[in-house]
Amino acid sequence: MNKVIIRVKDLRKTYKTYKRGESFKDTVKSLFARQSINLDALKGISFEIEKGELLGFLGPNGAGKSTTLKILTGILYPTSGDVYAMGYVPWKDRKRYVTNIGAVFGQKSQLLWDIPPADAFYMNRSIYGIAQKTFKNTLNDMTDLLDVGDHIHRPTRQLSLGERMKCEFIMAMLHRPSIVFLDEPTIGLDILSREKIRQFILEMNKSGVTFILTTHDLSDIEHLAKRVIIVNHGDIVFDNSLDDLRRHTGNIKLIRLSSHDEIGDIQIRGVEVTENLSKYNVEMILDTTQTGLNEFVRQIGIQFRLSDLIIEEPPIEDMIKELYLDREAESKK
């Protein structure tokens, strides 16, 4: 049953940029001889995605996430390596390949600003050559699922961000793609729209659509993905289930602390202060294997007159650091 839908092998991407001087002299010089700099965005990554998976792509900015996504959608040529997606090489068979995929870019709208989404849908219908009946059915299903019935007939510029993003999803999926790429799809959304969109993704995934999701918002991954790939500096640093990721990094917490008094040194084992926001405000990371959360809260309560205490999941950068540390620790054993 489980069929590989995308196979990526040893994918490399090197960008060549040119040094650019500021002064007039540099400008003139650069006309004749330009100094090139090679930037490795992807350093030979390999992975496979099976049909019906819901895969999360995580990584800090500039890690290679969007480069991978662009190559997988056929927008970008890689420097070397192979990609087979549904039997196509994305950048070579672009036109045929893209009829099978959909994409939602949180930052790049496919809708048309001054006209209602419905008209943009019609345009996509003709671009993809969707039969009238199929189109109607799909549109009805999706507007129901996303709860956007009337909004699609209002000009896009009058819609709220949430309504607009729901329409972006419809736009991307009208042609019933087998693979859908989502790039930061919930960025800036309110909780209700976010919830609705997540339900929609899960629903579509159940019906067999493969989703590949890039984000730097952990909560998206937690609610959606079963498998997670983390990239950093152009390499895959983690590729396993979400549960496994939790085992590695569930032990660290991000803590923000505010006190009525000045905060001096914090003498608790496993605490690392990451930022002094002010004399009364500190951000830190706690390793709960060294000091348990209970113990931490108790000690903190003794040391400071708290005005606020926030405990949350750490940002990706800290998780990656933790992953590296874990690996080192394991290899020493």
Partner 1 sequence: MIAENQFIRGVKAHFQAIKAALAGRMAYRGDFLLSTIIMLMAEMFAPAITFLIYSNGASFPGWGIYEVLLIQSIFMMARGIAFPFFFGMVWNTLSRVREGTLDILLIKPLGLVHLIIMTAFDCNDIGKLFGGVLLFAISMKHLPFPGFMQWVQFLLLFILSLVMLFAFALIMSALAIVWVGNSRIFEMFSAVTSFSQYPLSIFSKPIQTFITVIIPLGLLGFFPASVLLGKYSPQITAAIVSSIFFLIASFWFFKKMVRQYTSTGG
Partner 2 sequence: MIFLSSMGVIGKKIEFYKTVAFVTYKEWAAYRSHMAVSLFVGPVFFLVQYFIWHAVFTTRGSLGGFTLEQMVTYYGISSVISYLTFDFADWNLQMLIRTGKFATFLLRPVTHVYFALAQKIGHRILSFWMEFIPVYLIFIFAFGIRLVPRFPVWTVISILLSFILAFLVNYCIGISGFWLIRTNGLRQALHLFKDICAGVFIPLTFFPSPIQKILLFMPFQYITFVPTRVFIGSYELGGVSFSIPEIVGIQALMVLAMVLFVTILWKKGIKRFSGVGI
Using rule CB under 8 A, residue 133 touches partner 1? no
Long-range contacts made by residues 284-289, C-beta under 8 angstroms, separation at least 24?
284/254, 284/255, 284/256, 284/257, 285/252, 285/253, 285/254, 285/255, 285/314, 285/318, 286/252, 286/253, 286/255, 287/251, 287/252, 288/251, 288/252, 288/253, 289/251
What letter would DSSP give residue 153? G
Beta-bridged to residue 58, according to DSSP, are 215, 230
* Cα dist from 227 to 17, 84, 126, 196, whole Å: 34, 20, 35, 21
Q: Which is nearer to partner 1, 79 or 281 (CB)?
A: 79
Q: Are 255 and 310 in contact (CB under 8 A)?
A: yes
Q: Which does 99 bind (CB under 5 to 8 A by kind): partner 2, partner 1, none?
A: partner 1
Using CB under 8 A as the binding rule, the residues of this chain from 139 to 198 that contact partner 1 are: 155, 175-176
> Is 41 exposed, middle or buried, given 0-12, 13-18 or 19+ CB atoms closer than 10 A?
buried
Using CB under 8 A as the binding rule, the residues of this chain from 58 to 117 that contact partner 1 are: 67, 70, 73-77, 91, 94-96, 98-99, 101, 103, 105, 107-110, 112-115
Q: In angstroms, what is the minimal distance from the CB of 166 to partner 1? A: 18
Nearest to 198 by CA among 189, 239, 216: 189
Residues that bind partner 2 (CB under 8 A): 22, 24, 27
Q: In angstroms, what is the minimal distance from the CB of 29 to partner 2? A: 14
Beta-bridged to residue 236, according to DSSP, are 231
Q: Which does 15 bind (CB under 5 to 8 A by kind): partner 1, partner 2, none?
A: partner 1
Q: Which is nearer to partner 1, 126 or 207 (CB)?
A: 126
The mark string for 30-49 relative to partner 1 (x by CB under 8 A, - otherwise) is: --------------------
Q: Which is nearer to partner 1, 67 or 186 (CB)?
A: 67
Q: Which does 251 bind (CB under 5 to 8 A by kind): partner 2, partner 1, none?
A: none
Q: Applying CB under 8 A, which residues contact partner 1? A: 15-16, 67, 70, 73-77, 91, 94-96, 98-99, 101, 103, 105, 107-110, 112-115, 119-120, 122-131, 134, 155, 175-176
